[in-house]
């Protein structure tokens, strides 16, 4: 695993110990995903110039079920301001902390060891509207019959925290259907073998209101 673009391009990352369960995203898929985010205008055009601006002015990212932080760290490298990482697994959290320390990004990150499916954590962890939310739940969880149903409260709550034009990216196994979600425009899905990446955009052009603290 590595950072593929931006200020920290080429830096190696500590990956998850159990790749079978966590299914790290490949460089090819990550590149395609971030090319689309850049085209949607939610990432700075020039990460080097963006890095000279105050972090608070460059957008907030959420990386849910973050693992060792590949997507959130890539966003920070490409000019995003700050990232909230949410993860429960102890080994993954250790790897994430190692990556943040190695890249000297700890001051632009908030790491939460909480259950992402309990949306109450949002009001305690986020004080400004979210620009990008990555949702990358375990494949086994999303493959269950009630997989999407279990996630709906979280995904709808994320819409309430998103800024105007904010984007949510959900990664699932390819056979799993991607539904419409209240508060979001979409889905727009792209398949990569057994993996599917689905994009949703904040509906109505109105970002979420100010809530609690970063």
pLDDT per residue over 3-43, tens digit each?
999 999 999 999 877 655 556 788 999 999 999 999 999 99
CA dist., res. 76 & res. 102, Å (int): 14
Backbone angles phi, psi at 104, to 5 degrees: 55, 45
Average pLDDT over residues 55-78: 92
Sequence-distant (6+) residues with CB within 8 A of 78 are 5, 6, 7, 34, 38, 43, 44, 47
User: Which domains are present in the chain?
Assistant: 19-205 (3.40.50.150)
CB atoms within 10 A of CB 18: 12
pLDDT for res 26: 87
Residues β-bridged to residue 171: 197
- Residue by residue, DSSP assigns 19-65 as HHHH-PPPHHHHHHHHHHHHHTT-S-S-HHHHTTS-GGGS-EEEEET
Strands 109-112 and 130-135, by their bridges, are: unpaired
- In angstroms, the first-to-last Cα distance of the chain is 27
| Comparison of pLDDT for 144 and 77, the residue scoring more | 77
Looking at residue 113, the DSSP 8-state letter turns out to be -
pLDDT per residue over 138-190, tens digit each?
877 777 767 788 889 999 999 999 998 999 999 988 888 889 999 999 899 99
């Amino acid at each position: 695993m590595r950072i593929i673009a931006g200020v920290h391009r080429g830096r190696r990352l500590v990956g998850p110990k159990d790749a079978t369960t966590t299914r790290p995203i490949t460089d090819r898929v990550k590149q395609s995903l971030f090319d689309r985010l850049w085209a949607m205008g939610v990432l700075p055009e020039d990460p080097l110039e963006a890095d000279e601006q105050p972090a608070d002015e460059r957008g907030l990212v959420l990386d849910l079920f973050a693992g060792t932080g590949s997507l959130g760290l890539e966003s920070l490298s490409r000019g995003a301001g700050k990232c909230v990482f949410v993860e429960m697994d102890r080994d993954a959290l250790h790897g994430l902390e190692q990556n943040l320390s190695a890249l000297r990004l700890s001051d632009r990150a908030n790491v939460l060891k909480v259950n992402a499916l309990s949306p109450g954590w949002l009001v305690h962890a986020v004080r400004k509207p979210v620009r990008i939310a990555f949702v990358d739940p375990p494949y086994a969880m999303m493959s269950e019959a009630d997989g999407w149903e279990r996630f709906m409260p979280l995904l709808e709550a994320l819409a309430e925290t998103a800024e105007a034009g904010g984007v949510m990216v959900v990664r699932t196994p390819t056979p799993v259907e991607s539904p419409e979600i209240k508060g979001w425009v979409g889905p727009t899905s792209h398949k990569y073998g057994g993996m599917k990446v689905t994009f949703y955009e904040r509906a109505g052009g109105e970002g979420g209101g100010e809530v609690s603290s970063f």
